[in-house]
Amino acid sequence: MKIGSSPTPGKPRPSPRPPGPRTPARPGATDAPAAEESWRPFWLYLTIGGIVLFLAAIELPYDPVVIPQPLLVSLGLLSLIVVVFLAFENFFLVQLILVCYLPFSALLPGDFGGFLKAFNLTNILTVVIVVGWLARGGFRGERIYRPTRADALLAVFCALASVSLVRGLVEAQMSAHVLDTLKRYLTPFFYFYVFANNVRTRREIQYIYAATAFICVVAAGMALKESYLDIGYFSRLDAMRVRGITMQPNDTAAFFTYYTPFVVVPFLHRPRRALTWMLPVATFACFWAMTRTFSRGGIIAFAVTLLATIALRRWRAAVAIALLLAVLLFAFPQTLPESVVGRFQGLIRSAPRGADLLDPRRLEPSAARRIRIWKRALPHMARNPLLGIGYGHFGHTMRGDAHNGFILIAAEMGFPALFIYLGVLVLLARAAWRLRARAARPILRWLGHAYLAAVVGVVVANQFGSRLNSQELSSLFWILGGLTMMADREMRRGNPEFSARGESSAPEPAPT
Grouping H, G, I as helix, E, B as strand and the rest as coil, residue 391 is: coil
The series of mean pLDDT values per 10 residues for the chain, 512 residues long, is 44 46 42 46 84 87 64 67 69 90 88 61 86 78 88 95 83 69 90 94 94 96 93 80 93 96 94 79 95 92 96 94 90 81 69 59 74 85 88 81 91 95 97 95 96 97 90 95 96 89 57 43
pLDDT of residue 32: 43
pLDDT of residue 243: 93
Q: pTM for this one?
A: 0.86
Distance CA 322, CA 234 (A): 31
pLDDT of residue 36: 42
Distance CA 403, CA 277 (A): 37
Distance CA 28, CA 410 (A): 41
pLDDT of residue 66: 62
pLDDT of residue 247: 92
pLDDT of residue 358: 58
Distance CA 472, CA 100 (A): 11
Q: How far is CA 239 from CA 227, 231, 247, in A?
A: 10, 8, 14
- Give the Cβ contact number of residue 447 at 10 Å: 29
pLDDT of residue 215: 97
Grouping H, G, I as helix, E, B as strand and the rest as coil, residue 305 is: helix
Could you tell me if 381 and 410 are in contact, meaning their C-beta atoms sit under 8 angstroms apart?
yes
pLDDT of residue 151: 96
CA-CA-CA-CA torsion sign (193, 194, 197, 201): negative
Q: Angle formed by the axes of helices 415-438 and 442-461, to 10°? A: 150
Residue 138: CA count within 13 A, CB half-sphere: 7
The residue extents of the domains of the chain are 38-144, 149-347+359-500
**Secondary structure of 232-272 in HEC code, one letter for each residue:** CCCCCCHHHCCCHHHCCHHHHHHHHHHHCHHHHHHHHHCCC
pLDDT of residue 327: 92
pLDDT of residue 367: 76
